[in-house]
Amino acid sequence: MRKTILPKRGDALPGRDTAMPVPERHYVNNNPLQPPFPDNVQQVVVGLGCFWGAERRFWETDGIFTTAAGYAGGITPNPTYEEVCSGDTGHAEVVLVAYDPAFVSFEELLRVFWESHDPTQGMRQGNDIGTQYRSAIYTTDDSQQATARQSLAAYGAELRSAGLGEITTEIAPLETFYYAEDYHQQYLAKNPAGYCGIGGTGVSCPIGLDLDQKSA
């Protein structure tokens, strides 16, 4: 049964102390997959459904240093894919996005995020149903948190104007990002014909100065 209610802490799977082993380098751009990253690189973690297609959306974006598939927002430490899919970890499938703000702004990454999925669907994304497919933004500083909330308000207004529902995206400070298994990393680069599962609403997201105006 696909679960659509998050588990309570006492009901979550126990997990493990050992982190998932992953490759040293990104399959597409050959940059490091794990920190430490260069001082100029900032990070954000986003969930927008199946992480295979979500990760590709971001590694194809200019200014990205590296991306990685993983899990966040839940309770179970160092979960496996099967555990996350059970709905008993509380985690979402997410993508770590490490980017250089000199080449791509956080606002632009938010535009890619909003336009790449339907953030009104709650615990699902299209035909993918379950808590692991929820929409989420896990921020790494207060500035990201404020900007993400502004963008939610602005994009929410655009969606309402288009006759769509309210945004259900979770926005919260990142606690821990857990890397997914090796075979999930840059999956669609290794398997170009693989499942994507990512599709937007067709509604454009205001960014930059427009974002501030529409959220006022």
**Domains along the chain?**
40-193+200-215 (3.30.1060.10)
**The token pair that represents 82 in the structure block:** 């099967």
Rounded Cα–Cα distance for residues 199 and 215 (Å):
25
Which among 110, 95, 115, 83 is positioned nearest to 51, based on CA atoms? 95
Other beta carbons within 10 Å of 194:
14
The reply to whether 196 belongs to the active site is: no
Q: Which residue has the tokens 């979770």?
A: 170
Of the candidates 50, 85, 196, 205, the residue annotated as catalytic is 50
Cross-strand partners of 95:
46, 69
**The token pair that represents 35 in the structure block:** 């920190």
> pTM for the full model?
0.95
Other beta carbons within 10 Å of 157:
13
Q: Are 211 and 151 in contact (CB under 8 A)?
A: yes
- Each residue's pLDDT, cut to its tens digit, for the chain (216 residues) gives 689 999 999 999 999 999 999 999 999 999 999 999 999 999 999 999 999 999 999 999 999 999 999 999 999 999 999 999 999 999 999 999 999 999 999 999 999 999 999 999 999 999 999 999 999 999 999 999 999 999 999 999 999 999 999 999 999 999 999 999 999 999 999 999 999 888 999 999 986 534 443 333
